[in-house]
Amino acid sequence: MTDDKPLAGRLALVTGASRGIGAATAEALAAAGAHVILVARTAKALEEVEERIHDAGGAATIAPLDLAEGESIGKLAAAAAERWDALDVLVLNAAMLGSLTPVEHIDAKEYARILTLNVVANQALIAAFDQMLRRSERADVVAVSSSVGSEPRAFWGAYGSSKAALENLALAYGDETAYAGKLRVHVLDPGATRTRMRALAFPGEEPENLKPPEVVADFILKRLLSDAPSGERVRSTPSRLRRPAGS
C-alpha cells in the first residue's frame, strides 16, 4: 500500500459495473490500487470498463452474469474463492427502476423482478461472500440506495420499497458483524446523478445540471479510506452542479 495506491493488494467487487455509478466506482477503486471484479449482464460494456481500467494501469476481471438468475451468484463466489482468499470491498450497486406508478397499479410480475434484483440478489451476494469478507483485515460493504428508500414518494412505491428493504437488510448485517470490528456497512444515497436510470425517471431533466457518476465514485472511495463508522446512511452531495454566474 502506498499513498497514491491506498487500496493496493485489495480485492473489490462492484455490481452494475457496466455503466453509471458502478462503472465510475470500479474505475476509482482500480485507480486506487484495488483489483476489481466487474459484474453486470452485458459483457461488451464490461469489457469497455475493463479496458479503461487496464489502460489507466489498473487491474480488473469481468464477470458477465444476471444477478437475478438462480445459481449465478453462488458460482461467482465459488470462482472468486478459488482465486482469492479475501474480499475487501463489496459494492451493491445493480438495481432495476421499474415503472413509476400508483401502488394499486403496480404489476406483480415486474414488482417481483424489482425485489429479486434490488433485494434478494443483494442478500444472496452478502451470503455468498460473507466468509471472504470476514477473512479481510478490514472489509467494507456499500449498499447504493435512494432517497425514496427512507422518504416515500408518490408513484415510487415499487422501487422505493425495494430500497427500504435493502437498507434494512444491509444495516442489519452491519449490526450483526459489528462485534468483530473488522467489517463496516455503508448505505449510500447518491442523490441526483447523471445516470441512465435518472434519465428514465426524469426524462425532461437537463443532465448537464446534474453531477456525473465520478463525483459519487470519489465520495465512495473517500468513505472507504476514512475512519467512518459502520451502520451509517450517508448522502453524496452536491446533487446538482453549480452553474457559472451569468450562465
Which residue(s) pair with 211 in the sheet?
A: 193
Q: Are 140 and 220 in contact (CB under 8 A)?
A: no
Which residue(s) pair with 63 in the sheet?
A: 39
What does the alpha-carbon distance between residue 43 and residue 45 come to, in Å, rounded to a whole number?
Answer: 6
Residue 117 DSSP code: I
In degrees, rounded to 5, the angle at the alpha carbon of residue 234 between the alpha carbons of residues 228 and 239 is 130
Report the largest interatomic distance among the alpha carbons of the chain, rounded to a whole angstrom: 58
Phi, psi dihedral angles at 227 (to 5 degrees): -100, 30
What does the alpha-carbon distance between residue 87 and residue 101 come to, in Å, rounded to a whole number?
Answer: 38
What does the alpha-carbon distance between residue 180 and residue 142 come to, in Å, rounded to a whole number?
Answer: 18
Residues known to be catalytic: 159
Residue 203 DSSP code: T
